[in-house]
Amino acid sequence: MATKNDESTFVYVTFIRTSPERLWSALTDPDFMKQYWFGVHFRTDWKPGARWEMLYSDGRVTDAGEIIEFDPPKRIVLKWHHELRPELKAEGFAYCTIELEPVSDAVKLTITHTMNRAESKLIQAVSGGWPRILSNLKSLLETGQIVLKQ
């Protein structure tokens, strides 16, 4: 069996009718990100090796980590560490890969989130959030409006 039992992964894919450049800026511009990230915002300078932080509006850091790869407009790899809930924090680092690939008049956006442990609670927690974030991002780019405000 090829499935590694000591790994938790999800792979989420959405196709968005836009250009890779527009999608890239939607994924990396902190002001734009606020519109579809459900009340959190990002702080980073997006340089490989730099720290990134995801914050609530009251300043609490919910997740943070390191920019591993930053290759516009194709690929971002983040080292990912949860900071708030003790049981998720205890799990240590996960990796999140964001890939953009042009497909006819759309862009295929793939989010892969992996942690080297079976049944990771962090992976479980983020896998509830990503489909909503991606649906919101898709609507925002295709229609200019978000579906869910909270």
Partner 1 sequence: MQDDAVFKALADPSRRQLLDRLHEKNGQTLGELCEGLDMTRQAVAKHLAILKAANLLSWKRQGRERLHFINPVPINEIAERWISKFEQPRLSALSKLKKRLEKQDGN
Residues at the site binding partner 1, with contacts judged by CB under 8 A:
1-3, 7, 9-15, 17, 106, 110, 112, 130-132, 134-135, 138-139, 147-150
Closest CB to partner 1 among residues 31, 58: 58
CB of 119 to partner 1, least distance (A): 10
Closest CB to partner 1 among residues 57, 149: 149
CB of 29 to partner 1, least distance (A): 22
Task: Show the beta-strand stretches assigned E in the chain.
Answer: 8-16, 40-43, 51-56, 61-71, 75-82, 94-103, 106-115
CB of 4 to partner 1, least distance (A): 8
Closest CB to partner 1 among residues 2, 49: 2
Query: What gap in Å lies between CA 100 and CA 110, rounded to an integer?
Result: 7
Q: CA distances (Å), 20 to each of 11, 25, 50, 82, 87, in order?
A: 19, 9, 23, 29, 36
Angle formed by the axes of helices 121-143 and 20-28, nearest 10°: 130
CB of 131 to partner 1, least distance (A): 4
Closest CB to partner 1 among residues 75, 83: 75
